[in-house]
A and B are shown apart, each in its own frame.
Chain A
């Protein structure tokens, strides 16, 4: 039963992954990313990580993807690439390189895979993770809040439009069909 679920999830995730990197339009990539994130959330459930699964949906799927789409719309980005500019790395070379790396990673990971230990029912629940966060990992927790604050300030500072700049809607990049 679990295996079946896993296979479905894996296929969806992989399909989404391919979609992210292969789509012509950024919006399509964003939606593909959403698919991946959702599939992974289900996978987390299979791994007894309820808290993480929920967080995945809330933060990643719910906020980050929204942010991406927001920016895509703001900048009126209609195409993945600007046809006027030449690529600096041959796609084949890039893919090959990554393939080699992936293989190496797989080899390493396979050495580490053992049979799972037995865990209690509380494993991965909000209470258990929360307890860990507020006891042993209190300092990183607080630090993380500061990081969030800094990031917010940075984003506001970076996003400010200075008085002498033109409004955001500049020369739009042509869509794939409009060449």
Chain B
């Protein structure tokens, strides 16, 4: 039973991909939509059933072997799925948010000629992501890992006739590839250290086989983290995410907010046993997370494009998640992953509604005063914004402050950076809200702008609801919350599940401090962008931020430039050397043929003479033998 259910979860969307991919053109929009949404919905139901199973039989981990894949000698790799609280939790989030976004897409992509192709790719993505989440060993996870990377490329470059979109897709794929090299090396290393990549084995054996702080543990952890850096868009491999906004907005919501980019966080939590044996790596993870959080928040401050603001916001929030797992707060990391999925997807879908109403406009400098025309969208965005800023009682408040509390306990500077980032977060999200929805009348943006139809509206409402109540999963800072308790069997070794008991007063002070910063940020931003009474910043600073601290410039000079030069050289060599040789051979044969033509003079006399010469040669040859 478990086996079937577990297998169905990734297989259902896969079937949807095959159906829509092969026959989508002929089936008609309605059928395509039903197949696509139906398979994801059914997968969610299967996940829910498995959840109930896991709940009623606590402590049960199920290994589901689908088939023996390959093996050589002592190394055997099975196509194995792992059903435990962690994977079920992730599956529920992925399928749930995924389903809502599928439904939203039916309305959003309604007029697009590539309707069937879109849903085929989206289903394929779901299949890959679910494979990743349910994987029982690193190899199967890698299949899902690469699969989501591929679908990310396919969907970012969905409107492939646009050069910007095609370039963005390629950029995303190549940059995450860099991280994937690390992941692959980690797989090899794991085989070497453990003889297998099975998660259960690795978790149990980690303490025995890996010396605390030793080279093996650190290397393995760092390689895994490299993969996470690419996939989850942390510094320095974040550059693909803002450009990925070229894809359709629901894609951005699903892949680049709620699911794919969180794979890195999930992977670290899954292999926490390894990371716990490498304190240096954990410190690095936390540091990178914290720096990325504040870096991305700063870049979002001056970004004029609405979707790109949200992209930087995602990078920043992912930084918080890595900060959490870096200090050992695995439960908190997953909690923030979940609540972020809710409110970030909500924000993206609201942005999508804005674009839908404005026929594709994303530049906030051309927006303003939309709250009057799209009141429901504005409301949804506001809820998401407040959650992002960390205002209670929305879920974002609980998850983010839990992380900050854990960070403080680990290292005070991490807390400082985190809180500063939170302040910037408030500023930029209020800025985005104000520029888009508030202010004077819109300039020349037509009369047709209106709130989205129900098919797009309902998912937004649901997500808004989840954002509001999601805090229930972990509303206490002193005792483990619902989610953490659920995950306990999996991360029992986590250092932080040690009762946080601590001083309730200390906790309260921290929470108060960060809440103060958040509210202050909102106030500052309000003054700047709504009342326009405050002006901050200098030209030098805004230039620095606008160019993302010149990170992209450095990349262009150091990586892209030499790569292009190499490509040009290779192309030239191909043309002048190889092609010339091949064409040269063909031409010389032609020329030989041309010259042989000269023998056909058309004169009988000549032909007779040739025959004679041939006969003479033959005779001489025979006579001489």
Contact = CB atoms under 8 A, between A and B. Distances in A.
B442 to A, nearest CB: 87
State which size class the interface on A falls in. 10 to 19
A101 B606 contact: no
B57 interface: no
Interface string B603-614: 101100100110
Interface of A: 87-89, 94, 97-98, 100-101, 104-105, 107-108
B609 A105 contact: no
Interface in B213-255: none
Interface residues of B, number: 13
A130 B66 CA distance: 91
Contacts of A105: 619
B616 A101 contact: yes
Contacts of A101: 612, 615-616, 619
B601 interface: yes
A90 to B, nearest CB: 10
Interface of B: 601, 603, 605-606, 609, 612-613, 615-616, 619-620, 622-623
B522 to A, nearest CB: 104
Contacts of A87: 605
Contacts of B606: 88-89
A100 B613 CA distance: 10
Most chain A CB atoms below 10 A, which of B601, B616, B620, B622: B616
30 contacts: A87-B605, A88-B601, A88-B603, A88-B605, A88-B606, A89-B603, A89-B605, A89-B606, A89-B609, A94-B605, A94-B609, A97-B609, A97-B612, A97-B613, A97-B616, A98-B612, A100-B616, A101-B612, A101-B615, A101-B616, A101-B619, A104-B616, A104-B619, A104-B620, A104-B623, A105-B619, A107-B623, A108-B619, A108-B622, A108-B623
Chief secondary structure at chain A's binding surface: helix
B75 to A, nearest CB: 77
Nearest to A89: B605
Nearest to A105: B619
Contacts of A107: 623
A94 B622 CA distance: 23
Nearest to B619: A104
Contacts of B619: 101, 104-105, 108
A98 B615 CA distance: 11
Contacts of A88: 601, 603, 605-606
A87 B606 CA distance: 11
Contacts of B609: 89, 94, 97
Contacts of A97: 609, 612-613, 616
A122 to B, nearest CB: 35
B277 to A, nearest CB: 96
Contacts of B603: 88-89
B131 to A, nearest CB: 79
Contacts of A94: 605, 609
Leading 10 A-B pairs by shortest Cβ distance: A104-B619, A88-B603, A89-B605, A101-B616, A88-B605, A97-B612, A100-B616, A101-B612, A89-B609, A107-B623
